[in-house]
């Protein structure tokens, strides 16, 4: 399983979760099979179609799960439609949220927590 975390920069497990899913410049990934971290650069983070582009980017990379702090309804619905599950960040740091996710302690995201104001 490939898990993605939107972050401001790649410090692997020590990265802080970015507040806005589509505007995150980097997604830190964790592969549960290899137990290794990786990264996906979100070069279109500042574009108005950010959530669509980010969703497509993660789909192409084979991501199965996203753990986010701020994400809108549209992005959740799009990710779910592409077969990617979305969960809420609880701890705010990749390594802690990863542990919570793997132990089944993160809540699934069904309703967004982002109004898009960060793009204005």
In the chain, what are the domains?
2-38+56-109 (3.30.420.130)
Residues recorded for the chain: 120
Token pair of 76 as six digits = 């959740």
pLDDT digits (tens, 9 = 90+) for 20-71: 898 899 999 999 999 999 999 998 776 554 556 899 999 999 999 999 999 9
3 state DSSP class of 83: coil
Token pair of 100 as six digits = 């919570």
Distance CA 69, CA 112 (A): 10
* Cα torsion through 48, 28, 76, 113, rounded to 10: -80
Pairing of strands 26-31, 36-41: antiparallel
Q: What pLDDT, on a 0 to 100 scale, did the predictor assign at position 17? A: 94
Report the chain's C-alpha Rg in angstroms.
Answer: 13
Distance CA 73, CA 79 (A): 10
Residues in contact with 74: Cβ distance below 8 Å, sequence separation at least 6, in sequence order = 51, 112
pLDDT digits (tens, 9 = 90+) for 78-101: 999 999 999 999 988 999 999 999
What pTM does this model have?
0.89
């Amino acid at each position: 399983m490939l898990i993605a975390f939107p972050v401001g920069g790649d410090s692997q497990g020590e990265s802080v979760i970015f507040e806005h899913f589509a505007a995150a410049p980097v997604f830190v990934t964790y592969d549960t099979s290899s137990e290794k971290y990786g990264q996906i650069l979100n070069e279109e983070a500042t574009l108005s179609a950010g959530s669509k582009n980010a969703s497509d980017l993660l789909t192409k990379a084979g991501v199965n799960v996203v753990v986010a702090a701020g994400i809108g309804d549209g992005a959740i619905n799009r990710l779910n439609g592409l077969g990617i599950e979305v969960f809420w960040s609880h701890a705010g740091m990749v390594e802690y949220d990863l542990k919570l996710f793997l132990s089944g302690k993160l809540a699934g995201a069904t309703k967004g927590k982002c109004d898009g104001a960060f793009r204005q």
